[in-house]
Every structure is written in structure tokens, then in C-alpha cells.
Amino acid sequence: MAETVPYGMKTQRPPDIPDVHVIWMTGGLGCDGDSVSITAATQPSLEDVLLGAIPGLPRVHLYNPVLAYENGDDFMKYWFRAERGELEPFVLVLEGSIPNEDIKSEGFWAAQGTDPATGQPITIPEWLDRLTPKAAAVVGAGTCATYGGIHAMQGNPTGAMGLADYLGWNFKSKLGIPIVNVPGCPVQPDNFMETFLYLLYQVAGLAPMIPLDDALRPTWLFGKTVHEGCDRAGYYEQGDFANEYGSAKCIVKLGCWGPVVNCNVPKRGWMAGIGGCPNVGGICIGCTMPGFPDKFMPFMDEPPGAKVSSMMSMGYGTLVRGLRRLTNDTVNKEPSWRHRGSQLTTGYRPRTY
Amino acid sequence: MATLEEEQTAKRTLVEMSWDPITRIVGSLGIYTKIDFENREVAECYSTSSIFRGYSIFMKGKDPRDAHFITSRICGICGDNHATCSCYAQQMAYGIRPPAMAEWIINLGEAAEYMFDHNIFQDNLLMVDFCENMVRETNPSVWEKAKKTQAPHAADHGYRTIADIMTALNPFTGEFYRETLHVSRYTREMFCLMEGRHVHPSTLYPGGVGTVPTVQLFTDYLVRLARYAEFMKKVVPLHDDIFDFFYEALPGYEKVGERRIMTGCWGAFNDPDVCDYRYENMSKWGRGMFVTPGVVLDGQLVTTDLVDINLNIRILLGSSFYDDWENEETFVQRDPLGNPVDKRHPWNQTTIPRPQKREIHEGGKYSWVMSPRWLHQGNHLALDTGGGALARLWATALAGMVDIGYIKATGNSVKIFLPKTATKPEVEFEWQVPKWSNAIERNRARTYFQAYAAACAYYFVEKALGELHAGRTQTHTPFEVPEEAIGCGFHEAVRGVLSHHLVIREKKIANYHPYPPTPWNASVRDVYGTPGPYEDSVQNTPIFEENGPENFKGIDIMRAVRSFDPCLPCGVHMYLGPGKTLELMHSPMFGVQHA
Ligand code: SF4
Ligand code: SF4
């Protein structure tokens, strides 16, 4: 009758791999807001993951410049080790958009570390070329990394783009995982940590393939619109709209894009259920979307699609949903100038490079 | 260090060392140095930034009402400071003044930002340089001493020895480190109550806020504020203990990160009773701010006038990757008071990037950061921001204008009053004007400013509740974007001076130039060869680290640089070459150059 394992251990099983490394590149064109954001997460928190508070997880080693103990080469050595295949397996997280380094004759837009051979900085695209073929999974944190975001706005001088523009929308990691995009500007703290946890489970053999939508976002987080999760939607349905900021009513006429944007923030709040966007009086500017920011500007104007739908009252449900889908399709596409190649097509005309 | 100077003409052995990236900051910073190990000092330092994003370029032609949403994305830790500053500049351009309630809500949000950001930077990023692991690695003898040194304020913070404090600061495993992370969360909740989301706010608009002022809103804020005040009653004495210990354990430590006292503050927290956002009245409402604007030079306050501050800003090139704009359009000839505006002023700047090879040496181009300077009596001063807090407290103390019950500026100190909290009685802290502008004092000021922000927040909650109880709940003033206008905003980002300059033509942005703190601090050698603040505070920093070149961590340099609270999403890196990138060079000229 002797038990081979104590009864409490029966449901637990060790992860397939004991350690996972996480190379977090903040060197894209970004603001580091996503690194800062994850320190706000509590479900799970960074400590929960790093100190092994959650069952079944492999040991996690995080190399993130905002949080690292080491500096300089002591820190960059992990990048080089990952490149040499000495950090296995590793998850690559990119923060910030990828500038196009091919549109100019010399110099760099964004770089991290120095090439010992040339003494020149190593650019972000070069790091991606070195590391993405070896990564177990490639994750975009925040809208810059996922789709280009603010720094890839019309008229930008760097030709910035998102991960899928650079690696291709069909990219698969060595484990067969597509790019995983967790957009948001910045990323909602728990949205990122929750996705990250899922991926760790997947890499450890404890979860099936992560479910992603067409824009490579986790479906359980981005499957609903802002509007569907907004507690002001009741006013919308009654056609009762705010005409000034500071009102508790639906703010669609003040510029909220909620009806056509995929995001759970109004429902989840920003952190600990507090804050958010339209639910607390902030117009939704579509910051999780491939079309952000260009397709939503000027932010403070009433969205053209919403104009039609806010004029309809109840009863036209089907028609309204159809209209929304039309606009939703448009804003779920990136503008045309985010691409590779030696041409800068953002509208900016450089005189010096 | 006088003996070192005498040897400067003699042959020196310099070791090139660099740290790229400098971690535990926001953004990309590289520090390249030449170190004289024999004489234990840094002989030369260059700071470099490796990122260019081009805000002032892609903002051209956009709707000016988008400016605060866009500029918030300049920084991932203090984006809201940008959004706020942009709204200030827009309000000037649109000729509007938000309702008082909106100003109190913004002040509460910004106070929460200071409370959060200084807290997480100080104790989760910077103080790792003072934690047990680091001190044992770099200065074992200091660690031995810390174990034997009683903490003078043990009764206030609960740690018996200095070593106990250091252990509590170890990343993730340290008790105080984890407590700070927790505090960084509820302070961000306070922020989100007022501004919607951290770090890029959702509820800020030119003209006011979209936040709905309710009893619940202010209560939720106040209970968290009280928790924070209780925490500060422990944190201020804890930091005093550890900083005083460094002066005592390592005589001469005041030299680390020291530079000439030359620091600026652009003021924070507008008072709705006096602030109308009209440029013509800016001197007056600037002096009404609850953190007084000012420039402190060699210990003297040389101005508190925002107009004066504004007109003397100069953006120089030199070692950065840009072409000059001398032949480009001049957007603003005169300010609204009729004063001439210089071609090198942000209102008239045109940003022309020229990517090129990085050449890190005197006269070479090596950074994406420009060189902002402040013109005073014919000199282009490389002002620093004191990491924010030092300049704010210094200017406020000397000006002696702030007196709101919770804060009193005395002319040579700032008194901060925190009311009774759950387990601690009321406390008064007094920040005294320090003898030096150095790493330790920048860090100490940061802790005191956390208490300052909390004390201000108590005042703002009272004011906001006053409006609410009186039924004045409007939070936004409507406006039209004018055909043509100019505006400027002045604020304090967490780590120092922040200005936004805006020119509108045909209702579109014709020019927009934000100047955050880090371009000031991380600025590079300008056309006159004047190094920026990181560069000159690291240069001639004595080396106290016990490790030799083989396993050198550069801890004293890290402490010098981090004391400024570098935040360079706009770019700067440090790299350390342990052994392998070392290059010995013999340079008899160095000492002379920097004598
Ligand atoms: S997505 Fe937003 S938060 Fe993230 S790096 Fe870009 S600007 Fe910053
Ligand atoms: S609600 Fe809109 S603006 Fe807010 S986080 Fe979601 S997508 Fe971004």
C-alpha cells in the first residue's frame, strides 16, 4: 500500500525543462513603458514568476535592461550566449518598434551593445536576425513592437515597423510558435504577464498551442471590443451621449473609438481593477490596434464609423454590427508604409541620408 | 584629490572602459571612460545614446490636440509628465484655463507619479548599487564595517545595522526591495484614479480632464496616500542612515558624481487661483507653483522667473548626429511680451538627423542627444536637473515662497509635515540645503521629495474636496484650435526640467520641440567643447571600488550616473569590458586637457 509519491504531489508534475531564459530587448524604438508596466502586474507579478511562486513553472531567468543587476558587457553576455546557442531554451521579447536600417548609407537608428569586431553598435534588426532563429518563442510587448505604433507614424524618419512586418506574418519559431503579440500602449500589465505565463507553461509542455487571432494577439484577451466591455455602453444603447469631458456618459462623440477596437481594458481596469480608458472618462484611441495611431487621428474627433452607429438607436443591431465589422477590419490593418526594403515611404523626405 | 592634480602632467596609464548599456534605468545609455587606476580616478568620460525616434519630425502637420497623446510616448516611466506639459503648452496656445477641479486632479495625478516613480527608481533600481550583493562584490571592507555599524534610526525603520538595510535592498529576495515594489503598485493605482492609466494617461486633455470627480475618487486616493505617508516615515530615516554611512565609511565619497552647483528646476503643480496660462503673466503664475521654478548657480538662486528661464534656453549641437538649422525657418521672432527669441531656442529649432558612424572622442560625433544649455551672463551653462528632486528642493528652499500648511520653504531649507497615520504619529522632516551637488545628495533629495509630494497631495485632496463639496464639479473648459498660435509649457518631469514648445499654423503643428530632463543631463560635448553633466560628473570621480581592472564593476561611476536618474528612451548606454575590452594607453596629455 506504500505510496510512491506523497498524496499532495499526485496532481503536480515537473516541467519538461528545468530552466527557461528570457531575453528582453528594450532597444527598439520605444519608451520602455512596457518594462515599467510589467512591474505593476499582480496576476501574476514579476516576483511570482521569478521566485517560483506558481506551480509547474520552470526556473525563469530574466535579462531585461531596466531591471538587471549587471551592466554593460556583464549584461550583454547573455545576448551573445543566446546567439551561440548556450542559453537553451530562451524566449525573446521585443519592446519598441524596429527601425529600417536599410534606408540610409551609414550610422544607426537603434542599437544595443557594441560589436567587438567593428567597435560600432549592433543594431536591433541585426539582433533580430541573430536571435529569432534560435528563440523558442518571439513575443512583442506593446504596440510599437507588435505593429510599429507611435514611432511608425506617418511622416516618421526611421521607417519603423512591427515584428511581423520584419519577420513576416507567417514566421514560426523553432518550436513552431507564431509571433505572439501583446499590444497596448503601454501593454496592460496583467495582460502581458498572463500571456507570458501561458507561454512558459507551453514551453514547459504544460499547455497546448497558444490561441491567437489574425493580428497574432491572444484570443482570450483581445476577442472582445472595448465597447463590449465598457460600463458606459448602457448610455450608448439609450443614445445618451456626453458633450463634455468629465461626464459619466458614453464619450463616443468626444472621440472614443471603443466600438471598433479589440481590447479588454475597460473591463479589466488598468491595474487592480482601477483606471482604464472610456470607463473612467478617457477616449479610446485604439492603442492595441495595427492601425494605431494613424487610423485614429485626430484622436479627439468623433470617429467616422461611430457617427453612423451612434445615430442608430436600438433595433438596428445587425446593421450596426455589420458597419462595425467594416471599420474594425480597416483599423486592424497597418498603414502601408511599415515595411522592409531600402525605400522610406512614410512621407518624410530626408535630405541628409 | 589635490595630490592627483599635481601628477597630471606626468605620464598616466589610462585604461579604456565602457558600460553599454547602463542597465536599471529607462532607456539606452552608454558610458565610455578612460580610467587612471593608479591614481584611482576617472580621467575622461563620454556618454552616448543609441536611439533616435524623431518626434519633432513626425509631429509636424498633425492636429495639435494630438500632441499630449503623442508626446506621452516619449517616456515609459514619466510619460504623463509629458502629457501634462503638452496640455500646459496647448492651453497657452488655445488661450484657455481649466476649471480648478481639473487642476487639483492633475496635481494629484502628478503627485502620485512622483511618489511612484521616485520610489521605484530609488529602491528597485538605484539602491541595488548599495545592496548587500553589490557592496560585497565591490567593497568587502565596507560590508564588514556595515555589519558592525548600528543604524542610527533603527527605531524608525526596524533595521538594526546598516548591513541589515543593505540585505533588505537585495533585488527580489530583499524584504525592503519587495515592499517597495508593492508600494510602487498602490501609488500607481493612485495615479490611475486621477489620470486613468499609467504610464500613458487616458483622461488628460487640453482644457482639463475626463476624470469624474466623486467622493469615491478622492477617498480611494486618500486612503492610499495615508499608507504611503506611513511608509515615508520609515523610508526617509532609512535612506539618511545609509547615505550618512557612506560618507563616514569612505571618506571623500562626497566627490563621487560631484560637479559645480549648476542646477535648474522648471516648477511643478500649478495653482488654479493664479495660473491663467497667459504668457504675459507667466512670471507671476510660475512663482505661484507649489514647487518653485529656479536656477541655482554656485549655491545662489539666480532666477525664479519662467520668462527668463524660457528665453535663455539654447539648443547647441557639437557631438551629436544632427545638421545645424541656422538656414532653416525662424518660427518665432518675438515672444508675446515682445522679447526677441533666439534662433537656437526650441521654438525655432528644426531637427535634421544625419545618421553616421560613431566616433567616441573629443571632437567626434557620438550621440543622438543634443546639448541643451542655459545662457547666463554670456555663458552657455550645462545645467543639470539634479535628478529632479535636488533642483526642486534647492530652488524651492532658497526662494522661500511655498507655504501651504504641509510644506514650508524657509529660505535655506524645506520643512515637510506628514500627519498622523495608522501606527505612526505626525512627523516633520526638514531638508537642508547640502554642501555639494553630488551623487549622495541627489539621492537623498529624491527620498525627501517623495515625502514632499505626499505632503502636497494631502493639500490637493483638501482643495479638491473643497470644490466637490461646493458643487463645482466641472472638469473641462471647451476650446477651438486657433489658426495661428504659439505656446510653451513648463513642468518637472520626475527626473527634472521639462519644457514643450509649440507653434501652430493653419490649425496644424508647424513646430514642436519637447525638452525632457535627460537631454540636459546626458548632453554631450557642445560646440564650445563643454561636456554635459554626466560626462563632467563622472570625469574626475575618484574610484573607491576595491576591485582592480580585471574584475572592475565601475560601481562608483554607476552611482555617479544613476544619481541623475537617467531616463533615456531618447538614448544613452554603458558597457564594462571586464578584461577583454581593456586597452592600455599612455597619454601624457590627458591631465593637462582637463586641468
Ligand atoms: S507601445 Fe507604447 S508603451 Fe510600448 S514602447 Fe511603444 S510607446 Fe512605449
Ligand atoms: S481602451 Fe482603447 S485606448 Fe484604452 S487601452 Fe484599450 S485600446 Fe488602448
> Using one digit for the tens of pLDDT, what is the confidence trace for A21-65?
999 988 788 888 998 899 999 999 988 998 889 988 999 999 987
Burial of B544 (0-12, 13-18, 19+ CB in 10 A): buried
**Region B552-557: what's the mean pLDDT?**
89
> Which residue's entry shows cell 533580430?
A128
Residues within 8 A of B (CB atoms), A 119-138 only: 120-121
Total residues belonging to chain B: 595
Contact criterion met (CB < 8 Å) for A155 and B58: yes
The pLDDT tens digits for B131-151 are: 999 999 999 999 999 999 999
Under 8 Å between Cβ of A76 and A46 = no
pLDDT > 90? residue B511: yes
Q: Which range, of A212-221, B101-110, B368-377, B570-579, averages the lowest pLDDT?
A: B570-579
Write the single-letter amino acid at A350: P
The answer on pLDDT for B392 being more than 70 is: yes
Euclidean distance between CA atoms B489 and B515, whole angstroms? 10
In this complex, the residue of B25, B66, B581 whose CB is nearest that of residue A298 is B66
- The residue length of chain A stands at 353
Q: What is the dihedral of CA A182, A185, A186, A187, to 10 degrees?
A: -20
Task: Count interface pairs A-B at CB distance under 8 A.
Answer: 307
Cell numbers found for residue B161:
545595522
Q: Say yes or no: CB of residue B76 within 6 Å of ligand 1.
A: yes
More confident residue, A23 or B359: A23
Query: Strand pairing partners for B30?
Result: B48
In terms of CA atoms, which chain A residue is nearest residue B368? A109
A185, A263, A271: residue to mutate for ligand 2 pocket, most atoms within 8 A of CB: A263
Of all protein residues, whose CA lies closest to atom 2 belonging to ligand 1? A185
Mean pLDDT, rounded, for A102-116: 85
Contact B347/B279 with Cβ under 8 angstroms? no
Considering only the C-alpha atoms of chain A, give the largest distance between any 2 of them, rounded to a whole number of Å: 83
Position B318 scores a pLDDT of 78
**Does residue B581 register a pLDDT over 70?**
no
H or E element that contains A212: none
Backbone φ, ψ for residue A257 (5° rounding): -95, 10
**Mutation for testing the B interface, residue in A45, A274, A284 having most B CBs under 10 Å:** A274
Q: What is the residue whose three cell numbers read 511570482? A: A48
A155 in contact with B, Cβ within 8 Å: yes
Say yes or no: CB of residue A277 within 6 Å of ligand 2. Answer: yes
Contact A200, A20 (CB under 8 A): yes
**Residue A288, ligand 2, Cβ within 6 A:** yes
Confidence of residue B26 (pLDDT cuts 50, 70, 90): low
B586: pLDDT strictly greater than 70: no
Q: Is A193 in the pocket of ligand 1 (CB under 6 A)?
A: no
How many angstroms does the Cα of residue B196 sit away from the middle of ligand 1?
16
Pairing of strands B26-27, A19-25: unpaired
**pLDDT for the residue numbered A56:** 85
Distance CA B283, CA A178 (A): 57
- Does residue A221 have its Cβ closer than 6 Å to ligand 2? no
Which of B51, B210, B576 minimises the CB distance to A110? B51
| Burial grade of B535 (CB within 10 A; 0-12, 13-18, 19 or more) | buried
A contacts of B96 (beta carbons < 8 Å):
none
Contacts of A351 in chain B (CB under 8 A): 352
B236 CB contacts (<8 Å, ≥6 apart)?
Answer: B429, B447, B448, B450, B451
Strand partners, A211: none
Please, what is the angle between helix B175-195 and helix B215-249, to 10°? 140
Euclidean distance between CA atoms B102 and A246, whole angstroms: 9
Residue B519 near residue B74 (C-beta atoms within 8 A): no
B466 contact partners, CB below 8 Å, separation of at least 6: none
- Is residue B547 a contact partner of residue B138, using CB atoms and an 8 Å limit? yes
Ligand with minimal distance to A256 CA: 2
Nearest-Å Rg of the Cα atoms of chain B is 23
The answer to whether B454 and B350 are in contact (CB under 8 A) is: no
pLDDT higher than 60, residue B457: yes
What SS3 class is residue A326? helix
Q: Write the CB contacts of B436 (distance below 8 Å, at least 6 apart in sequence).
A: B254, B258, B261
What is the rounded CA–CA span in Å between residue A66 and residue B27? 8
Could you say which of B25, B184, B197 has the minimum Cβ distance to residue A275?
B197
A186 in ligand 1 pocket by Cβ < 6 Å?
A: yes
Q: Tell me which range, A240-249, A283-292, B526-535, is most confidently predicted by mean pLDDT.
A: A283-292
CA B438 to chain centre: 14
Could you tell me if the ipTM is greater than 0.90? yes
Confidence at residue B558, expressed as pLDDT on a 0 to 100 scale:
87
**Does pLDDT of B87 surpass 70?**
yes
Identify the closest residue of chain B to A272 by CA–CA distance: B189
Number of CB atoms found within 10 A of residue B214's CB: 12
